[in-house]
Amino acid sequence: MSNQENNDLNNSGMNDEDMVEVHTKLNKDKHPPTQGFLIAPLVFVFVFGCLIFVCSIQLAHSTNGFDVHPPTEVVELTDEEREQLRLERKFNSGKKLFTANCASCHQASGLGLGDIYPPLAGSEWVSANPELIIKVITKGLIGEIQVKGKTYSPAGGMAAVTNLKSDSDIADVTTYVRKAWGNDATEVTEDIVAQVRKDSADQKDQWIGVELQSTYLQVSSNE
């Protein structure tokens, strides 16, 4: 401050106290009190924070822990239902295998075709000891046979179905044949298939019709 200005102030007639008072007043007018306004946004932040928190918990609950995929339903089956389901699956798998490997000759209806392809529906061969049908499928069959009172003797017989490799496929298809079209024979297990294949490992050619017939079908006709 220059000397001149200093003198002007001193000559303005204001003492120090007046000056402080005027400044305080000016200060108040220029800057309105802010305390009240500062709290408002804090309250909003707090309220919204709580809201987001509560909504998150609600969302986590209603969406199974933010899982996008709905929870897989856990259905408790009784032993009986589980057994029925297992058989149903086996039957359906066997049906597919039958369609692909047998139906061209024995027909989807299981009724066979003409004088060449014997029927499987109602056949005593199918419902006999399961070893019989397993043997026919795995090695084939040749020569004269009787099915449901009718004689079949097609040239070449039936070749082994080499497409069916696994014990479970053979078990499935034979189970299907033994239970389809009104047939009512027991299920064929993989264990039986494995055993029969092991026992007949030495058999290189097709089975002879009359031999199988006398082994398996005379017995059942005496029952």
Distance between CA atoms of residues 65 and 155, nearest Å? 68
Q: Is there binding between residue 110 and ligand HEC (CB under 6 A)?
A: no
Report residue 56 CA to chain centroid gap: 32
CB of 206 to ligand HEC, least distance (A): 8
The contact pattern for ligand HEC, residues 154-183, with x = CB under 6 A and - = no contact, is: x--xx--x-----------x---x------
Tokens of 191: 């264990």
Of the residues 90, 94, 95, 118, which one makes contact with ligand HEC according to CB under 6 A: 118
User: What is the footprint of ligand HEC within residues 119-158 (CB under 6 A)?
Assistant: 119-120, 123, 125-126, 133, 136-137, 141-143, 145, 147, 152-154, 157-158
| Chain contacts with ligand HEC (rule: CB under 6 A) | 101-102, 104-106, 116-120, 123, 125-126, 133, 136-137, 141-143, 145, 147, 152-154, 157-158, 161, 173, 177, 209
